[in-house]
Each structure stands twice: as structure tokens, then as C-alpha cells.
Structure 1
Amino acid sequence: MSATVNPSEFLPDAFLPPNFLPSAPSAPLRIPRVLAIAGSDPSGGAGIQADLKSIAANGGYGMAAITALTAQNTQGVRAVHVPPAEFLTAQLDAISDDIGIDAVKIGMLGDAAVIDAVRTWLEKVRPAVVVLDPVMVATSGDRLLKESAEAALQALLPLADLITPNLAELAILLKEPVAADWVEALEQGKRLAALSGTTVLVKGGHLPGGDGAGDGCPDALVNTVGLLGQETVVVPGERIVTRNSHGTGCSLSSAMATVQARVGNWEAALREVKPWLLGALREASALDVGTGNGPVHHFHHVQDRTSSQHSQHSQGPAETPAEGEFAAALRDGAAADLDAIYALDFIRGLADGTLPEHEFAYYLAQDAIYLNGYSRVLARAAAVAPTEAEQLFWARSAQTCLEVESELHRSWLSTRPAAAGLGPVTKSYVDHLLAASVSGSYGVLVAAALPCFWLYAEVGATLHREFLAGGAPAAHPYADWLRTYADEDFAAATRQAIAYTDAAARQASAGEREAMALAFRQSSRYEVHFFDAPRLHA
């Protein structure tokens, strides 16, 4: 299918493409409460310290139960002290007796008594999300778990929802040699997943060049009992050449626990966390910490924004953009997200009519739920809009959500039952929009709402062209959907929504325009995930 898009069909001069930035919390009252159970690193790069930074950087509230004290720095581990297991139990009970826990990340455990204490607590509390990073061997080669405790750790594996070993740890858990290449690593991941009955994250970061993974650094989710959309989900990534990778494994596992608690989907979580971690590695040298293997830069994305704002402050207020300029700036990066959407099997199946009916039914069921929340967001935009024309436009758009699109969905679903409640992507997207609606900023609100107009208009028009180019077969099962979203009235509404968003940017401060762009990027990312959700659900 052609992915050729002509943005001028819909806008004065604009479109925005999201970078895959780590997301902010979906809503102010839904910040994941994440407990890290791990050892302490006084140098701040790994262990509990890295966990708490990762949790905060990915929008969570971090808590910590200390399993071990280490004397270490960027050059290596000098000593390890493991406090009595009874004291760890006291820490865990104190937290769970008082605070709701949305996710748990488990790192360094030290000895068998500590592992048994954690297992007993997990069996009692049963947290919804448990990520186990089986810390056994550090990147430096230091042994961090006594060999006598390996059997106890094996008994802990089935209580985890996700296991994140490095290649050396993966080999130890299987009692096999370390994988020599990516293919072998994936096979070991499958064996561990089958052994533990859970999902394993196979990490390619320690593979040498020419390992079958190319020059990149892939990661893969592996599950052999049907909990993923497919047995192996590979997420490619760039290989960052740096000496500053201390705490990468800790940071990845705690970030995965945090984002999973928010989005409820392991693949979506990995696709959000991986770009953040790549940025943390890429910008690590900016920290200038230590003379050995330095830490990653957990807050690189915050630092970028802070530096930008400081630069603007130092140079005086940023100039107000000309008409269409803000929209044009958003449009410049649109190609990557549009390409991602057009590459989805769901979109290709819609275009040629081969999409399985149950996937389309799930999509429509989620869209109907989404539109109910979206209509409330548009109604809020109408309430705070600065002009009567904008008030009327957003109010009419809210009404359209309920009377036109929702009716199409209900009519289709009434003859084709789809057992689908609120999906995790739908919930996260609506929570994000509702958070924007209470932000107090009209500009941020309309920027967050805009991708639902824009991406649908772009995708709908392209699909409709493909539909017409194929001769418009009468039997095409999704013809009504294609016609609805290629409708000229919808295209005109999209152009108006873009114009109003651009106008709001011209009235906003430089800081508010940055917040508008971020809200739009986040919504655009959710649009990609929303189109892909039926495949993950199936």
C-alpha cells in the first residue's frame, strides 16, 4: 500500500510527527506507585538509586526496600553487606500495609534467605505487575549473587510477570554457555520462558558486532504460553557506543515495571521505554561521573527541555510564530509516525479488505469507548475556548463524536458481537486527554486533541484512495468506515482544528507552546498504538 501523503489536503501548512519520547503520567491521579526491591549503589548509577530515577523519569512514584548495601563506584564493587532477611520483611510489610502498590521491580537479592523473604511477601501481597531483574553478574564481571542462592532464585521466577536477565544471567539460569549470537540468545530466552511460564526480555546490548543482530541493539519479548501477540516480539534499536552504561539493566527493568503499570501491555511498554533508554545512554557523557563505567542519564529528556527554556530566557522571550509556522513545525516530523501507521498489518488489511473481522470488531469497540471520553474532552475545549466561533466548533465536534461516528460503530457492532471491555491503550489514551483537559491551558488541550482529527483524516483519505484505486468492490467489508473518514466534512473540520491550534500557539508563551508540542507528540504516539492494539489483543 502506498504511504504517500499530501498534508496540504488538510491544513493551512502543518502536521506533527511524534518522536517516541517517554510519556508523562497518563493522568494526575493515576501515577503508578512502583516499589523497587534491590541493593544500594552509593555512587548513584545502579541499584535502588537507578531504580528510583528510572521510575520518576517514566512518570511513576518510586518506593524502595533495601536488600543489600554495596561499596562500589564506577570502577567496580568492593564489598557487599546483606542485612538480616527479617529486616527486609519489615520494610516490605511496612510499605504494603499502608500504600497501594501498582508494580514491583526486583533487583539484587544477595542470598537465599533474602530471596525466600521476597517470595513469601509476593505470595501474600500478589502485586499486579512484578518485574524480576535476576542480578547475578554485573557488567564488570563482579559476582553479585552467591552461587548457593541460585536454586532459591529459580523458585522465584514463576512469581514474576517479566524476567530481564543479561546474557550471562540468562545462561546461568539455564545452566548453559553464554549465547554467542542473537539467534542463540532468542532460543535461550524461549527455553527460560517455557521453564518459568512467564515472559522473558532478551537483551542484545552485550552481543558483539557481527552477532546476527547487525549493527543494532535489539531487544525481544519472549513468551511461549500465548501471553503476547506472538511468541517472540523483537524491538530493534540503535547500538550506542559509550563507556557510560552503569545501571542500564536496573534502569530498563524499573522503567518497564513503571510503564507496564500505566499502559498494561508489555510490547507497548518496551516500545516506549527503549527510546528513552537509548537517549539515556546517548547523553550519558554529559554527566561526567567517575573515571570508569559511568551512569546513564536518566533525565536527559528533562534536561533537554530545561536547557531549551534557559536558552530562551537568556536570549529574551521567543518570537511569536507567524501564522501556520507552529503547525508547519509539527508537520516536519510527521513522516516517521505516518510510515509506522501505514506499515501496520491492521491498516493494510483495512485497505484491501483482508483484515480479520474480529480485529476490526475490537478496534470499533475500543473506538466507541474512546469517542465517549473524547467527546468530553472536546466539550471541555468548547467551554474554555477564547472565541464564540471556537466554542461552537468544539461543541459541534463533541456532538459529532456521539451522534455520527459512535452510531456507525454501534450499528456495525450490533450485528457482530465483540467481547471487549476497556483496553489498556484506550484507557491510557483517554487518561492522557483528560489530563490535558484539566491542565488549565486551552492550547495544550486542543493540541492533545488534534491528532485524532489529523491522523484519522490523513489515514482515512489514503485508505479511501486505495479503496477507490482497487475498483471499489461492493463486497469490501469496511467500505463504510473508509467513506466516513474520507468525508469532506471531516476533512474540513480537520483543517479548522489545525487552524485553531495554530492560532492558540500564537497566543501562547514559549513554554506553553513547548507543552502543546509535547501533548501533540504523546497523542500521536497513542494513535499509532491504538491502530496496532487489535493485533496485540488478538
Structure 2
Amino acid sequence: MSTVPRVLSIAGTDPTGGAGIQADLKSIAANGGYGMAVVTALVAQNTQGVRSVHVPPTQFLEEQLNAVSADVVIDAVKIGMLANTEVIEVVTAWLNRVSPQIVVLDPVMVATSGDRLLDRDAEQALRQLASRADLLTPNIPELAILAEEPIGSDWTAVIGQAKRVAARLGVRILAKGGHLGGEKLPDALVDPHGQVVEFSGERIATTNTHGTGCSLSSAIATRYAATGDWVSATGESKRWLTESIRHGASLEVGAGHGPVSHFAGLWERGGTSTRPTPADVIADWWEYIRDLRENIDELPFVRALGDGTLDQVAFVWYLQQDALYLHDYSRALAEASRLAPTGDEQAFWAASAHGAVATEMQLHESWIPADALGETYPSAVTSGYLNHLLATSARGDYAVLIAALLPCFWLYQDVGTRLHPLSHADHRYRTWLDTYADDAFAAATQRAVMVVATAAAHADDTTRVRMREAFRASAAHELAFFAAPHDMLG
């Protein structure tokens, strides 16, 4: 079975979207499935009632069913409105041929007005089809028709009918208490052996109840296909439907019995914003710091570093500050390793922390006497950058921390790669350029970029914004860091 249940609805239409196939497809999607639909009847209706019904030729119905099952593996079937005996027989024959694993039948037999929708022959054909289902979801009047008994007057009578129908047909019944009076709204799952699992519920004061039967049965079919547990599927579907009913009025659809809001919970908790891909994040963030990157390129320190005319005093002062920076930067990398959610990411950030101390510090020490480094104090710029990183690290938010760490990879690799072609064998600062333009650092940078971009792509909107701002803040600190030697030494 696919991880996403593929659920086929066989039912009539509702042009206002609140019931029938339109409601089924929304319910299937809202409960985590992929919905498909075969139309049994075209219904001219709105929230105030049915105006007319057109039943297409049953040959076309059969062609629809065969077209779907010839191409798609169907994990569950939900059956709704079947207009007459001929339609019921075509669907029954198709079920017998295809033998889908799960069949949920919502036996549409009685209109909201109380009028019976099927003649006696069609009712008998529907009883025979019902024995082919795994679960029936009748309302109280429909349960009475299946039982061939008077309508149950209270919950005890309804449960009794459900037990008798379940035993006779060998199927599960979801008995629904919606037609009973009172504030309580009980439902019960009754199996063929008479076992009963009840679900409590409260009546919601609303007129947005159009299509609730269609929606509930489709939800259960979808959730059972995913879990294989009728009790869990029913309970979760009821909670989902209750939430959808509560939000139905906000849709402001129709002047009669309006629809439920099938996606209310998803809209409220997940929103409708699209989630970026890692590639989207990379492109967006690089563009977001374009102004900072361009300003770095124009700095006297960077331009002189590239052409080899940089004063050595300025370069040594820069390296001294960078050595102080790397000492605490490596600590922030180690904290990222500690917070990382996967072993691969833990190993990457730990290796980066080691590299910051071992490889890059070795480069610095080739220029700076050991005693000179011990006498160096961080500048205000260096302290500001480190305070930003260490404060971010202390908050313990892995995603934001790695976003803040990224510019030290990305900007150095970018600057080093672009300046390196300007150098030559006798270039005074060739070893520095070699370090940040070599393949190993490029690979580490690419890995860091992808780890951060993937984390941002999977983060919620609020975290993604915080990551982006932490990234820009660090990039701004990098600009100040490159500018500092010229500003300090003139």
C-alpha cells in the first residue's frame, strides 16, 4: 500500500461543494489521502435542497469504474449515492470483480426531509451490496430501513438495530445519533459479533451540517486505509469532523444548511504558504545579502588582499583578530554538533570545529609569533561578532545557530575563490588565498550550505525567518570584520 491511501469515491455530485463527491474528495485530502471519483448521478442542488437528478447511462458508469481500476491501485472505496437498482447492480458487479480491500458504504436512502430516495427493489439491492462492505455508516432512518424495522426512538433502540443489522449482513455498523434530540451526540462502532465501541460527542449549535455523512464516511475510509484500525480511524475522523463543523459558518456558503469547513484545521495549523526547497533557500539568502557582498568586494582591505598590495601590518592585525575569533567560533561549531539531530550533521560540525582550530589556526601562526597572539585583545568588531554567535549558541536553537555560522563558510569561500585567480606564485598572501580557494574548503562550504538550507526548508515559517535574519546578521559582522583593519589602522 502507498504511504498515501488512494481512495475512490463512488457517489453523486453537489455543485455547491458541500456534499457528495465534492465533499468526499475534500475529506479524503484533509485526512491524508489521495481522492478519486466516479460519478453515479449529476445532482442539481444547493444548500436549500435538491432540484433535480440526472443519472447517466450505467454503461458509462461501468466505463468510469473500469478505467480507474485498470490503472490505479485502490486502497479503499467509499460509496455514497446510488440512484437506482441498475446503478447498484453495476457497482456490485465491479466490486466482485475488483475486490478492493476496504469498502465503506454510506447508504443514501433517506432525504433530509424524511422522504425515501429509493424504491423497494433498489432498497433490497442496496442491502445485498451492504453485505459486500466492511463498514456501513447509515443515519438512524437509513439504519431502520436496513433493519426493516421502525425508526429507533432512543439510543438503546438504535444500538439494538445496529447489532442486528451487523450480525445479519456480517459487516461493521457505525450507528450515529445525530437524528436523536438532546445535547449529546453519541456514535457507536458495532461489529458483527455485537461488540460496541461508543464515541461521545456534543451537539454544535450550527446550520452548517450539509454533507456531514458523506464527509465522515470518506474520512474513516481514508484513515482506516492508513492505519488498519477501525476504532482509531473512527475516533480521529469524528474529531476532525467536529472541528470542521465548528468552522463551517465562517465559509459563508449558501442561505440554507451550509457545508462544513473541511480544511479548517489544516489552514489554522499549517497555513497556505508554500514551503521552499533547499535550492529556493540558497538562492533567496544569497540574494538577501547581495548588498553586503558587494560592499565586501569594494573594501580597501579586500581589494588590496587580492592584488597583493595589502600592507603587512594590516594583514597581521587582521589575522590576530581572526585567531581570537576562531577560538570561540570553534566553540559555536562544537555546540552545533551537540545540538545536531543526525549523526552525519554531528560529525560534520565537529570536524568543522576541529578544522577551525587545527587547520586555520596553523595558517595564522605561520604569520603571527606565538607571544604576539597572547598579547592580542579582541577589537570591538571582533567582540560584537563573537557576542552574536555565542548568544545565538546559548539559546539552544540548532537551526538558527547553524544559519548564524554559515557566512563564515560561504563568504570566505566566495571571496577566496574569486581572489585566487588574481594571485601568482610570488603573491605575498598566496597561502591565505590557497586555504579558502581549495577544493576541501569548497566541499565543506557546499556541505554547510546544504545542511542549513535543508533545515530552513523544513522549518516552520517563524523559525525560517529567524534563521534568515541570523544569517544576515552574521554576514553584516563579516563585512565589518573585513573593514576593521583599514578602519583601525588607517
Q: For the superposition of Structure 1 and Structure 2, which TM-score range results when normalised by the shorter chain?
A: 0.5 to 0.7
Shift of 1:306: 5.4
Instruction: Classify 1:193/1:304 alpha carbon distance in 2 versus 1 (closer, same or farther; 3 Å).
Output: same
Distance 1:117 1:204 in 2: 31
- Residue by residue over 1:194-249, the C-alpha shift from the partner in whole angstroms, topping out at 9 and shown as x without a partner, is 1110100001122101xxxxx32121110133xxxx70011112221211100000
Distance 1:269 1:43 in 2: 27
Q: 1:221 aligns with which of 165, 189, 192?
A: 189
33-42 vs 145-154, which moves further:
145-154
The question of whether the paired residues in 2 share the 8 Å contact of 1:76 and 1:142 is answered with no
Number of matched pairs: 301
Shift of 1:385: 4.6
Shift of 1:70: 0.9
- Pair 1:382-2:350 in alignment: no
Match of 1:384, SS state, is helix
The residue type equivalent to 1:267 in the other structure is: V
Q: 2:25 aligns with which of 52, 67, 72?
A: 52
Distance 1:144 1:513 in 2: 54
Percent identity for Structure 1 against Structure 2:
56
Question: 1:111-510 maps to which residues of 2 (within 5 A)?
Answer: 111-209=84-182, 215-225=183-193, 231-305=195-269, 381-385=342-346, 510=461
The residue type equivalent to 1:224 in the other structure is: P
- Residue by residue over 1:126-158, the C-alpha shift from the partner in whole angstroms, topping out at 9 and shown as x without a partner, is 001100000011334354333331111111111
The residue type equivalent to 1:282 in the other structure is: R
Match of 2:71, SS state, is coil
Distance 1:513 1:137 in 2: 51
Bigger-Rg structure (1/2): 2
Instruction: Classify 1:508/1:79 alpha carbon distance in 2 versus 1 (closer, same or farther; 3 Å).
Output: closer
- Residue by residue over 1:311-348, the C-alpha shift from the partner in whole angstroms, topping out at 9 and shown as x without a partner, is xxxxxxxxxxxxxxxxxxxxxxxxxxxxxxxxxxxxxx
Distance 1:442 1:32 in 2: 34
The residue type equivalent to 2:228 in the other structure is: G
Shift of 1:85: 1.4
Residue 104 of structure 1 is matched in structure 2 by 77
Match of 1:113, SS state, is helix
Distance 1:385 1:38 in 2: 53
Distance 2:186 2:89 in 1: 33
Match of 1:250, SS state, is helix
- Residue by residue over 1:31-85, the C-alpha shift from the partner in whole angstroms, topping out at 9 and shown as x without a partner, is 1100000001111110000000000101111100000111110001111111121
Question: 1:65-104 maps to which residues of 2 (within 5 A)?
Answer: 65-104=38-77
Match of 2:131, SS state, is helix
Distance 1:48 1:119 in 2: 19
> Highest relative contact order (Cα 8 Å, sep 6+), 1 or 2?
1
Match of 2:253, SS state, is coil
Shift of 1:295: 0.5
The question of whether the paired residues in 2 share the 8 Å contact of 1:74 and 1:293 is answered with yes
- Pair 1:32-2:5 in alignment: yes
Distance 2:271 2:53 in 1: 38
Match of 1:262, SS state, is helix
Match of 2:7, SS state, is strand
Distance 2:234 2:464 in 1: 29
Instruction: Classify 1:383/1:66 alpha carbon distance in 2 versus 1 (closer, same or farther; 3 Å).
Output: same
The question of whether the paired residues in 2 share the 8 Å contact of 1:38 and 1:65 is answered with yes
The residue type equivalent to 2:212 in the other structure is: T
Distance 2:189 2:463 in 1: 38
Shift of 1:300: 0.6
Instruction: Classify 1:234/1:386 alpha carbon distance in 2 versus 1 (closer, same or farther; 3 Å).
Output: farther
Distance 1:37 1:308 in 2: 29
Distance 1:127 1:80 in 2: 28
Distance 1:513 1:102 in 2: 36
The residue type equivalent to 1:174 in the other structure is: A
- Residue by residue over 1:280-316, the C-alpha shift from the partner in whole angstroms, topping out at 9 and shown as x without a partner, is 1111001100000001110011221356979xxxxxx
247-256 vs 147-156, which moves further:
147-156
Instruction: Classify 1:513/1:83 alpha carbon distance in 2 versus 1 (closer, same or farther; 3 Å).
Output: same
- Residue by residue over 1:378-423, the C-alpha shift from the partner in whole angstroms, topping out at 9 and shown as x without a partner, is x98322358868xxxxxxxxxxxxxxxxxxxxxxxxxxxxxxxxxx
Distance 1:254 1:77 in 2: 21
Structure 1 gaps of 5+ residues are 1-26, 210-214, 311-378, 390-440, 444-503, 515-538
TM-score normalised to the size of structure 1?
A: 0.52
Shift of 1:511: 4.6
Instruction: Classify 1:235/1:143 alpha carbon distance in 2 versus 1 (closer, same or farther; 3 Å).
Output: same
The question of whether the paired residues in 2 share the 8 Å contact of 1:110 and 1:146 is answered with no
Distance 1:123 1:81 in 2: 26
Distance 1:110 1:513 in 2: 52
Instruction: Classify 1:186/1:97 alpha carbon distance in 2 versus 1 (closer, same or farther; 3 Å).
Output: same
Distance 2:39 2:56 in 1: 9
- Residue by residue over 1:10-41, the C-alpha shift from the partner in whole angstroms, topping out at 9 and shown as x without a partner, is xxxxxxxxxxxxxxxxx9x5111000000011
Distance 1:168 1:302 in 2: 33
Distance 1:86 1:512 in 2: 55
Root mean square deviation of aligned Cα: 3.0
- Residue by residue over 1:93-146, the C-alpha shift from the partner in whole angstroms, topping out at 9 and shown as x without a partner, is 000001100000000000000000011000010001100000011334354333
Distance 2:460 2:32 in 1: 25
TM-score normalised to the size of structure 2?
A: 0.57
